[in-house]
Structure 1
Amino acid sequence: MAATGFKDYYAVLGVSRTASADEIKQSFRKLARKYHPDVNPNDKTAEAKFKEVSEAYEVLSDADKRKKYDQYGQYWQQASRAGAGSPYGSPFGGAYGSPGDGGFDFSNYGSFDEFINELLGRFSTPGGGGRSSYAYGAPGGGPAGPGFGYDTAASSQSFDQEANIRLTFGEAFHGAQKRLRIGNNSVEVRIPPGAKQGSKIRLKGKGPMNPYSKQPADIYLVVQLDTHSFFKLEGDSLSAEVPITPDEAVLGGKIDVPTPDGSVTMNLPAGIRSGQSLRLRGKGWPSPKGDRGDLLIKVVITPPGTLSDAERQLYEQIRASRTSNPRQDLTNTRI
């Protein structure tokens, strides 16, 4: 089965689906400066990231494109080509990718095949000794347009299909039960704990009929994970940033930090630097085996916004009596 090729442009720019045009612009400018090729010469990873954020901004900054993207998800370009006059309306009955339930609706079609045929503008029928098949997200596209391939293969070619399902951070972490409507059928789907961005959930025998094997294909639900206001999931690692005061950084001590299971007390070593990470074992993301990964807490030294008179006097005393100079080794730095 080919990959879906779908990109969550909101996740690429690090904004919510309800972000304003100004928020989208600000996030793009920040990321564009960070990954611009002039700032990262000969860095292929940064160059690819720059292209990705530029692509995301091109879509989300255009009100019409963003509306279609929000409505049709990975099929927004095909929906644009199909036009508003399509007798089928929204390919997912208006429920595709809705934040409320993460579901979709194929009820506007007699079968999943009809939906695919509408997108491709052709029917998949055997002929001329070949076997026609769908290829979702085929790199480089094909005769049907970007993101779709249409090739001939043996009768063993998979007819499995993919569709996106959006989950909140909590649903992905704890697991969830989702009721989805596929055609005229209502299907109960169990999302196991620990689903991640791009995870695939198999719905066996819920796809279109394979005309060669006479067996129903499978549908794979590809998880699209909403962002969280505090926690971040990158690969298998769950992380979070926690602010600390300058005196906590110098003296160390105990601080309370949030975890997915609630607040815990963490030991802060004296002399910790801003940006260093501390590990809380067993407090991270669930794995398919049922165990838990680690939570990485990144500390950020945050000076107070306002000072009382007593605090200011104490800081001035520290400055007057300070013996160390953290910039001493930079004195003779030149280019």
Structure 2
Amino acid sequence: MTRQETSIQNSPIVDYKDYYKILGVEKTATTDQIKKAYRKLARQHHPDVNPNDPKAEQKFKEVNEANEVLSDEDKRRKYDQLGADYQRYQQGGGRRPGSGGFDWSQYSQQGSGAGGGQDPFGGTDFSDFFSSIFGGMGGGQRAGGQRAGAGQDYQAELELTLEDAFCGGPRTLTVNGKSLRISIKPGAEDGQTIRLREQGGPGRHGGPAGSLYITLRLQPDPRYTRTGDDLTMDVPVSLYKAVLGGEQVVETLSGPVKIKIKPDTASGTRLRLRGKGFPNYQSPGQVGDLYLRLTLTLPHNLTDQEKALFEQLAALRQE
């Protein structure tokens, strides 16, 4: 048996892990895209969200491991080189690394046993694949073998009225006993999430704090129906004004507006007020429209004289 054959035979036999596939990103993904994918999957499979779920726990470990490699420039470069060589090996008819033709040992971290590392989220081991390539510990290791890790992300909700979302401005909320003052841009939508970096749980061993994700909850407003940046509201109009025409003041979120009602206006007529809708959250200065739906109101508790006048009108209309 040759020396080369002995080296291959003694190299660790581990299964290749596709970290890009685990995070659901392309190999050309940017650092921000990788970070975004990681945050989403970490929240989805976090043990606190999925208690007593072994599959979610395993997925959580895989996501953390993939992020550990792809978010580090040096580790990602080494991993990409390994992936290219391994792909050529597969195309050549190989079945698994470490067996007949793929020199796995050239990538292995010398002097590191497989399965001996700790992940950045505490206590659990990295996979044999990771440990073989990166020595089990990865980046961010501190003296004494303790490893820096990001803190836990927090979730919170903030209730807003429609006027609050329309105007924007500062708001105060308390999370885990800590009072935070944040600024809301005009045009916020229900369910929208705001991220505050390093306002979550404390990091471990000098690592960065987690993030705070604030979900905005808009309270329903009986006056308006919102569709994107447009608003619709019902405006009651008296029968007399609908028949004869006239002017009427309408209260909008941006202040009172005087509208003209044409004679013979039918119930359900819609009027459009440009630029009186909701501000666009992403494009400051861009505002939607307000649609007014005119609804006729009938007079009640008529006097005898008023009834007589209506009877005269009815008689005239029948001629």
Moved over 6 A (4+): 210-213
Q: Which amino acid aligns with 1:305?
A: H
Which of 290, 303, 311 aligns to 2:284? It is 290
For the aligned residue pairs, the C-alpha RMSD in angstroms reads: 3.5
Distance 1:305 1:186, change over 3 A: same
Structure 2 distance, partners of 1:268, 1:224, is 36
Distance 1:215 1:255, change over 3 A: same
Structure 2 distance, partners of 1:237, 1:174, is 15
* CA drift at 1:211: 6.9
**Larger-Rg structure:** 2
* CA drift at 1:142: 5.5
Q: How does 1:1-335 map to 2 (within 5 A)?
A: 133-135=42-44, 151-152=59-60, 153-155=62-64, 156=67, 160-183=153-176, 185-208=178-201, 214-288=207-281, 289-291=283-285, 292-322=287-317
Q: Which amino acid aligns with 1:304?
A: P
Is contact 1:191-1:201 (8 Å) kept?
A: no
SS in 2 for 1:301: strand
Q: Which amino acid aligns with 2:182?
A: V
Is contact 1:239-1:297 (8 Å) kept?
A: yes
Distance 1:136 1:173, change over 3 A: farther
Q: Which amino acid aligns with 1:197?
A: D
Is contact 2:200-2:212 (8 Å) kept?
A: yes
SS in 2 for 1:310: helix
Structure 2 distance, partners of 1:142, 1:276, is 52
Q: Which amino acid aligns with 1:206?
A: Q
Is contact 2:169-2:183 (8 Å) kept?
A: yes
* CA drift at 1:160: 4.7
* CA drift at 1:166: 0.6
Is contact 2:229-2:279 (8 Å) kept?
A: no
* CA drift at 1:313: 2.1
* CA drift at 1:143: 5.6
Q: Any unmatched runs of 5+ in structure 1? A: 1-131, 325-335
